[in-house]
Amino acid sequence: MYKYELKNINLSQMKQLATNLAKIFVAGDVVALNGDLGAGKSTIARFIIQSFLGDETNVPSPTFTLVQTYEAKKFDIWHMDLYRLEEPTQIIELGVEEAFSNSLCLIEWAEKGQGFLPREIMNINIENGDCLNSRNIVFLGDKFKQKKLDKLINGDEKK
Ligand SMILES: Nc1ncnc2c1ncn2[C@@H]1O[C@H](COP(=O)(O)OP(=O)(O)OP(=O)(O)O)[C@@H](O)[C@H]1O
Ligand SMILES: [Mg+2]
Protein backbone atom coordinates (compact mmCIF):
# COMPACT_ATOMS: atom_id res chain seq x y z
CA MET A 1 0.00 0.00 0.00
CA TYR A 2 1.39 3.41 -0.89
CA LYS A 3 0.45 6.89 0.20
CA TYR A 4 1.62 10.16 -1.31
CA GLU A 5 0.41 13.52 -0.12
CA LEU A 6 0.56 16.88 -1.83
CA LYS A 7 -0.33 19.78 0.41
CA ASN A 8 -2.04 23.08 -0.33
CA ILE A 9 -2.57 22.68 -4.03
CA ASN A 10 -4.23 25.69 -5.67
CA LEU A 11 -6.44 25.55 -8.74
CA SER A 12 -3.66 26.12 -11.26
CA GLN A 13 -1.46 23.53 -9.55
CA MET A 14 -4.45 21.19 -9.70
CA LYS A 15 -4.55 21.69 -13.45
CA GLN A 16 -0.83 20.97 -13.74
CA LEU A 17 -1.22 17.86 -11.60
CA ALA A 18 -4.07 16.66 -13.83
CA THR A 19 -1.93 17.23 -16.93
CA ASN A 20 0.87 15.16 -15.40
CA LEU A 21 -1.54 12.43 -14.34
CA ALA A 22 -3.06 12.27 -17.81
CA LYS A 23 0.36 11.22 -19.11
CA ILE A 24 0.49 8.12 -16.94
CA PHE A 25 -3.05 6.92 -17.58
CA VAL A 26 -3.77 4.19 -20.10
CA ALA A 27 -6.83 2.24 -21.21
CA GLY A 28 -8.23 0.16 -18.37
CA ASP A 29 -7.08 2.45 -15.57
CA VAL A 30 -9.68 3.05 -12.90
CA VAL A 31 -9.38 6.06 -10.62
CA ALA A 32 -11.60 6.78 -7.63
CA LEU A 33 -11.92 10.49 -6.85
CA ASN A 34 -12.86 10.84 -3.20
CA GLY A 35 -13.77 13.85 -1.11
CA ASP A 36 -16.71 15.78 0.29
CA LEU A 37 -19.19 17.81 -1.71
CA GLY A 38 -17.28 20.62 -3.40
CA ALA A 39 -13.87 19.06 -2.69
CA GLY A 40 -12.85 19.28 -6.34
CA LYS A 41 -13.52 15.80 -7.73
CA SER A 42 -15.28 17.09 -10.85
CA THR A 43 -12.67 19.81 -11.20
CA ILE A 44 -9.72 17.43 -11.34
CA ALA A 45 -11.67 15.07 -13.64
CA ARG A 46 -12.40 18.03 -15.95
CA PHE A 47 -8.72 19.01 -16.03
CA ILE A 48 -7.71 15.40 -16.78
CA ILE A 49 -10.26 15.11 -19.60
CA GLN A 50 -9.22 18.49 -21.01
CA SER A 51 -5.59 17.35 -21.00
CA PHE A 52 -6.62 14.67 -23.46
CA LEU A 53 -9.15 16.64 -25.49
CA GLY A 54 -8.27 20.30 -25.20
CA ASP A 55 -9.17 23.05 -22.75
CA GLU A 56 -12.24 24.05 -24.75
CA THR A 57 -13.88 20.66 -24.15
CA ASN A 58 -17.07 21.00 -22.18
CA VAL A 59 -17.01 18.62 -19.22
CA PRO A 60 -20.31 18.77 -17.34
CA SER A 61 -20.63 17.11 -13.97
CA PRO A 62 -22.20 13.65 -14.44
CA THR A 63 -24.25 13.98 -11.23
CA PHE A 64 -27.57 13.35 -12.96
CA THR A 65 -26.48 11.26 -15.93
CA LEU A 66 -24.17 9.10 -13.74
CA VAL A 67 -21.77 8.82 -16.66
CA GLN A 68 -20.39 11.04 -19.41
CA THR A 69 -18.14 9.49 -22.00
CA TYR A 70 -15.42 11.10 -24.11
CA GLU A 71 -13.37 9.81 -27.01
CA ALA A 72 -9.70 10.45 -26.55
CA LYS A 73 -7.28 9.45 -29.32
CA LYS A 74 -6.30 6.09 -27.89
CA PHE A 75 -9.24 5.17 -25.69
CA ASP A 76 -12.54 6.34 -24.31
CA ILE A 77 -12.79 8.15 -21.00
CA TRP A 78 -15.68 7.45 -18.67
CA HIS A 79 -16.38 10.15 -16.14
CA MET A 80 -18.78 8.81 -13.54
CA ASP A 81 -20.48 10.23 -10.50
CA LEU A 82 -22.13 7.49 -8.45
CA TYR A 83 -23.64 9.81 -5.84
CA ARG A 84 -27.15 9.07 -7.03
CA LEU A 85 -26.67 5.36 -7.51
CA GLU A 86 -29.41 3.54 -5.64
CA GLU A 87 -27.61 0.26 -5.33
CA PRO A 88 -24.14 -0.88 -6.36
CA THR A 89 -25.45 -3.45 -8.87
CA GLN A 90 -26.80 -0.55 -10.96
CA ILE A 91 -23.33 0.21 -12.24
CA ILE A 92 -23.28 -3.09 -14.09
CA GLU A 93 -26.30 -1.86 -16.08
CA LEU A 94 -24.28 1.17 -17.11
CA GLY A 95 -21.87 -1.16 -18.92
CA VAL A 96 -18.93 -0.48 -16.67
CA GLU A 97 -17.38 -3.91 -16.97
CA GLU A 98 -16.21 -3.22 -20.49
CA ALA A 99 -15.17 0.30 -19.56
CA PHE A 100 -13.08 -1.03 -16.67
CA SER A 101 -10.99 -2.99 -19.13
CA ASN A 102 -10.96 -0.70 -22.20
CA SER A 103 -11.42 2.85 -21.01
CA LEU A 104 -9.97 5.29 -18.54
CA CYS A 105 -12.54 5.52 -15.75
CA LEU A 106 -12.65 8.53 -13.43
CA ILE A 107 -15.19 7.82 -10.70
CA GLU A 108 -16.63 10.27 -8.18
CA TRP A 109 -18.34 8.75 -5.14
CA ALA A 110 -16.86 5.37 -6.09
CA GLU A 111 -17.71 3.96 -2.66
CA LYS A 112 -21.33 3.77 -3.82
CA GLY A 113 -20.28 1.10 -6.28
CA GLN A 114 -18.43 -0.92 -3.69
CA GLY A 115 -18.17 -4.60 -4.48
CA PHE A 116 -18.45 -3.92 -8.22
CA LEU A 117 -15.21 -2.06 -8.76
CA PRO A 118 -12.02 -3.66 -10.03
CA ARG A 119 -9.39 -4.70 -7.52
CA GLU A 120 -6.68 -2.48 -8.93
CA ILE A 121 -7.67 1.09 -8.49
CA MET A 122 -5.93 4.39 -7.79
CA ASN A 123 -7.55 6.46 -5.05
CA ILE A 124 -7.22 10.22 -5.17
CA ASN A 125 -8.54 11.77 -1.98
CA ILE A 126 -9.14 15.52 -1.99
CA GLU A 127 -9.36 17.38 1.30
CA ASN A 128 -9.36 21.01 2.29
CA GLY A 129 -5.94 22.60 2.62
CA ASP A 130 -4.82 25.24 5.09
CA CYS A 131 -6.25 28.17 3.21
CA LEU A 132 -9.26 29.02 1.09
CA ASN A 133 -9.09 27.36 -2.34
CA SER A 134 -6.25 25.08 -1.39
CA ARG A 135 -6.58 21.33 -1.32
CA ASN A 136 -4.52 18.46 0.04
CA ILE A 137 -4.34 15.54 -2.33
CA VAL A 138 -3.67 12.06 -1.05
CA PHE A 139 -2.89 9.23 -3.45
CA LEU A 140 -3.58 5.79 -2.05
CA GLY A 141 -3.26 2.50 -3.81
CA ASP A 142 -2.17 -1.03 -3.63
CA LYS A 143 0.89 -1.03 -5.92
CA PHE A 144 -1.31 -0.13 -8.90
CA LYS A 145 0.63 2.50 -10.83
CA GLN A 146 2.94 3.15 -7.91
CA LYS A 147 6.11 3.38 -10.01
CA LYS A 148 4.68 5.93 -12.39
CA LEU A 149 3.11 7.91 -9.61
CA ASP A 150 6.34 7.90 -7.65
CA LYS A 151 8.16 9.31 -10.66
CA LEU A 152 5.46 11.92 -11.17
CA ILE A 153 5.61 13.10 -7.57
CA ASN A 154 9.24 12.63 -6.65
CA GLY A 155 10.84 13.06 -10.07
CA ASP A 156 13.76 10.88 -10.97
CA GLU A 157 15.77 11.58 -7.81
CA LYS A 158 17.13 8.54 -6.08
CA LYS A 159 15.99 8.47 -2.48
N1 LIG B 1 -7.40 23.97 -5.42
C2 LIG B 1 -8.58 23.65 -5.92
N3 LIG B 1 -8.78 22.44 -6.45
C4 LIG B 1 -10.01 22.08 -6.93
N5 LIG B 1 -11.09 22.87 -6.91
C6 LIG B 1 -10.94 24.09 -6.39
C7 LIG B 1 -9.71 24.52 -5.87
N8 LIG B 1 -9.87 25.76 -5.41
C9 LIG B 1 -11.13 26.09 -5.63
N10 LIG B 1 -11.80 25.11 -6.22
C11 LIG B 1 -13.22 25.17 -6.57
O12 LIG B 1 -13.94 24.27 -5.76
C13 LIG B 1 -15.08 23.77 -6.48
C14 LIG B 1 -15.04 22.27 -6.49
O15 LIG B 1 -16.23 21.81 -7.06
P16 LIG B 1 -16.38 20.39 -7.73
O17 LIG B 1 -17.66 20.41 -8.48
O18 LIG B 1 -15.13 20.03 -8.46
O19 LIG B 1 -16.52 19.47 -6.43
P20 LIG B 1 -16.91 17.94 -6.33
O21 LIG B 1 -15.92 17.33 -5.40
O22 LIG B 1 -17.01 17.35 -7.68
O23 LIG B 1 -18.33 17.98 -5.62
P24 LIG B 1 -19.58 16.97 -5.74
O25 LIG B 1 -19.44 15.96 -4.65
O26 LIG B 1 -20.75 17.87 -5.52
O27 LIG B 1 -19.57 16.34 -7.10
C28 LIG B 1 -14.99 24.36 -7.88
O29 LIG B 1 -15.81 25.50 -7.93
C30 LIG B 1 -13.51 24.75 -8.00
O31 LIG B 1 -13.29 25.82 -8.89
MG1 LIG C 1 -18.57 16.40 -8.69
Question: Model pTM?
Answer: 0.96
- Is residue 72 within 8 Å of residue 104, measured between CB atoms? yes
Return the number of other C-beta atoms located less than 10 Å from residue 49's C-beta. 22
SS3 11: helix
18-35 tens-digit pLDDT:
999 999 999 999 999 999
Task: List the chain domain ranges.
Answer: 2-154
Give the residue, 46 or 157, on which the prediction is more confident: 46
Atom 10 of ligand 1, residue of closest alpha carbon: 133
Say what the pLDDT of residue 155 is.
85
Which ligand approaches the C-alpha of residue 33 most closely? 1
Around ion ligand 2, which residues have CB less than 5 A away?
Answer: 41-42, 61, 108
9 lines ligand 1 (CB under 6 A): yes
DSSP 90-156: HHHHTTHHHHHHHSEEEEETGGGGTTSS-SS-EEEEEEE-SSTT-EEEEEEESSTTHHHHHHHHHTT
Task: Work out which ligand 1 atom sits closest to the CA atom of 109.
Answer: 25
Return the number of other C-beta atoms located less than 10 Å from residue 45's C-beta. 25
85-134 tens-digit pLDDT:
999 999 999 999 999 999 999 999 999 999 999 999 999 999 999 999 99
11 lines ligand 1 (CB under 6 A): yes
CA distance 159 to 141: 20
Task: Work out which ligand 1 atom sits closest to the CA atom of 13.
Answer: 1
135-145 tens-digit pLDDT:
999 999 988 88
Expressed in angstroms and rounded, the spacing between residue 62 Cα and the centre of ligand 2 is: 7
End-to-end CA separation in angstroms for the chain: 18
What CATH superfamily is the domain 2-154?
A: P-loop containing nucleotide triphosphate hydrolases (3.40.50.300)
Nearest to residue 125, comparing CAs of 145, 146, 109? Answer: 109
